[in-house]
Amino acid sequence: MDNYDWNNKIDYLSKTRWLYYNDDYLEFLVKMVWKITSPVRIIDFGCGYGYLGTKLLPLLPEGSTYTGVDGGNQLIEHAKDIFKDAPFTTEFVLGDIQEMEFERKYDLAVCHAFLLHVGNPKDVLRKMIDCLEDRGRIVCFEPHWISGMASYFLDGYPASDMVQLGFLQRLFERDARRSGKDGNIGIKLPVYLSRLGVKQIECRVSDRVNFLDPNSEAGEMEALFSALKEDGFGADPGAEEPFVESLVKRGAAYEEALSEYRLEAALSNLFKDNVFLTYAPNMKITTGIIER
């Protein structure tokens, strides 16, 4: 488990989650949309370091409990550490969700940026549904990569010079067909949940639009700049050959792959902490009720 890839991404996870939602929006969802007024037993699939627990528990009625499940032992240890002095009842379980059975004893089954990483998301959704009691709620916060990619504005540069949407669209679709792992799953979840018999399905979009503003206070600007880099925007694509080769392996034509490399290399050079940038991550938040 120590070699498990996600164990090495605690830093990435901790630095990027805040790009997606404003706290007041999460509060609005819990109180005004889902209308949770009595304590709930939550289970978080692919909890990582417990991000959703840190955000939801303070908003939920006293007595609510949180169970986080993840395959990364270091992530689970980090999560236990984060919650060790918190006034909440939490439990963290290490395991491969694909192999695990869950008891039907929860009121709220959640996941955040998890289903896109499994090759059989519909089977995993079935597990999430099966662990809920009658009238339990499922909530999936998942990405819709292509709408995220369409939602950058870097001042001074046409969006079409920065992001090749058509190319990426084909790349993501091919990846999903090949591996079952789908970075656009967020937009599809209402359909999947309906087919699994879930009722009262609703889907919303994340509210946060990040604004990198050279006129803002330096610390604020630096924090956002490094979070955006960590999240992948303007990241250094590294050496040309392995980059191009890996895209070709994913089904891209050589010319397309080379052009993507050049574009990402150019973007990495011009994305500095003195530019204006707006970016909306466009996560999709899908919920529904289980009626037994």
- Asked if 26 touches ligand SAM (CB under 6 A), the answer is no
- Asked if 148 touches ligand SAM (CB under 6 A), the answer is no
- Asked if 51 touches ligand SAM (CB under 6 A), the answer is yes
- Asked if 41 touches ligand SAM (CB under 6 A), the answer is no
- Asked if 78 touches ligand SAM (CB under 6 A), the answer is no
Per this entry, what is the length of the chain? Answer: 292
> Whose Cβ is closer to ligand SAM: residue 72's or residue 190's?
72
Residue nearest to ligand SAM (CB): 48
278's CB contacts (< 8 A; 6+ apart) are 152, 153, 209, 210, 211, 212
Nearest C-alpha neighbor of 47 from the set 88, 90, 86 = 90
Of residues 89-108, those binding ligand SAM (CB under 6 A): 96-98
150's CB contacts (< 8 A; 6+ apart) are 159, 163, 165
Nearest C-alpha neighbor of 205 from the set 277, 280, 282 = 282
**Under a CB-based contact definition with an 8 Å cutoff, are residues 6 and 71 in contact?**
yes
- Asked if 183 touches ligand SAM (CB under 6 A), the answer is no
For residues 169, 170, 173, 175, the Cα torsion angle rounded to the nearest 10 degrees is -110
Instruction: Indicate the DSSP class of residue 85.
Output: T
Query: Least distance from C-beta 177 to ligand SAM, angstroms?
Result: 20
- Asked if 186 touches ligand SAM (CB under 6 A), the answer is no
> Whose Cβ is closer to ligand SAM: residue 81's or residue 96's?
96
Which member of 15, 55, 117, 181 binds ligand SAM (CB under 6 A)?
117
> Whose Cβ is closer to ligand SAM: residue 231's or residue 256's?
231
**Under a CB-based contact definition with an 8 Å cutoff, are residues 256 and 167 in contact?**
yes
CA 75 to chain centre: 16
Query: Least distance from C-beta 76 to ligand SAM, angstroms?
Result: 9
Which member of 41, 42, 60, 70 binds ligand SAM (CB under 6 A)?
70
Using CB under 6 A, which of the segments 46-54, 200-208, 251-259, 263-271 binds ligand SAM? 46-54
**Under a CB-based contact definition with an 8 Å cutoff, are residues 1 and 71 in contact?**
yes
**Beta-bridge partners for 205:** 284
Which member of 46, 121, 143, 281 binds ligand SAM (CB under 6 A)?
46
**Range list of β-strands (E), 132-275:** 132-142, 152-154, 199-205, 210-212
- Asked if 75 touches ligand SAM (CB under 6 A), the answer is yes
CA 125 to chain centre: 16
Of residues 219-258, those binding ligand SAM (CB under 6 A): none
- Asked if 179 touches ligand SAM (CB under 6 A), the answer is no
The residue ranges that bind ligand SAM (CB under 6 A) are: 6, 13, 17, 46-48, 51, 70-72, 75, 96-98, 112-114, 117-118
